[in-house]
Structure 1
């Protein structure tokens, strides 16, 4: 919301495919940093995961708004949409955690990164197919999964850093 107040809703100009590519850039950078262990730019993995969370929410908002809605949105409306998408995704996370027994707690952070990258490749394929799928979930479900994987990674990074 701070960036919305600073920049307005400039992200509205992005096509969904461009948002997917922004998430891909962040996830690929995380993987590179995990493998090389050195950052020459200075930004850390935590910031990149936060970026993935925010871009996933932006992607879901963009899907809801569609291209016909105004580029500049009222910050209060953006805040309401943002909270709605986060809450919906959080409820999904709780349901899946119940069914999967919180398996993410025993996963490596690098596996969460790889799952995000896999979901991104799926979203790219769905986008390239103009949204048509035969048996799989749509792009929104994949954004929700990526958002939750990024949150799990952030939790694990915080736990790791606090030890």
Structure 2
């Protein structure tokens, strides 16, 4: 199963990366480089909150599908990790190749974390509800917001990067679950 999860993760990330590359071609990197980290956190919050709202109401009025919102969560988490990597770098426009390299590095680091946790937890996520995954993403967002409000200082907690990685992985799990439900 672990090998299957790695290949499913890579498949999801490949789709998200394709979207990221297209949007980077359309808008350039300034469209996300201009954002401070709390703004990226709030963008993720908006997406996760919309998913929860749709799950609770059982219908939606805007055509954007839930899968697209989870993909956006993944890409915004990767953007947040890239922003952390670029801390102190004031360039708004990055060469596309550099942006893709940063994206790939953040995705690979997160895959390594997923593999380690998946080993320890024994793929427990496969028995979770997508609605629970959404709630966990929202919980992680509230943690990040608190850490940001505390200027990044924590006593015993993981930092924001680890929380972005966890949210990314949960969003990947949600997409895998939703794909499996359709099949």
Structure-2-length-normalised TM-score:
0.87
Q: Deviations over 1:15-56 (max 9, x none)?
A: 000000000000000000001011101111101000000000
Q: C-alpha offsets along residues 73-120 of structure 1, whole Å, 9 cap, x if unaligned?
A: 000000000000001101100100000011000000000000000000
Q: Which residue in 2 is equivalent to 1:87? A: 108
Structure-1 separation of matches of 2:89 and 2:128 = 41
- Cα separation, 2, equivalents of 1:80 and 1:115: 29
Q: Choose the corresponding residue for 1:74, options 80, 83, 95.
A: 95
Instruction: Quote the Cα distance in structure 2 between the aligned partners of 1:40 and 1:68.
Output: 40
Which residue among 40, 49, 68 is the counterpart of 1:47? 68
Q: Which of 27, 33, 37 matches 1:7?
A: 27
SS of residue matched to 1:150: helix
Q: Would you say 1:157 and 2:178 are equivalent positions?
A: yes
Q: Write the distance in 1 (CA, Å) between the matches of 2:50 and 2:172.
A: 17
What runs of 5+ residues in structure 1 fail to find an aligned partner? Answer: none
1:67, CA displacement in angstroms?
4.6
61-70 or 132-141, which moves further after superposition? 61-70
- Separation of aligned partners in 1, 2:179 and 2:132: 17
**After the TM superposition, which segments of 4 or more aligned residues of structure 1 sit over 6 Å from their partners?**
none
RMSD: 0.7
For 2:132 and 2:63, locate their aligned partners in 1 and report how far apart those are by CA, in whole Å.
23
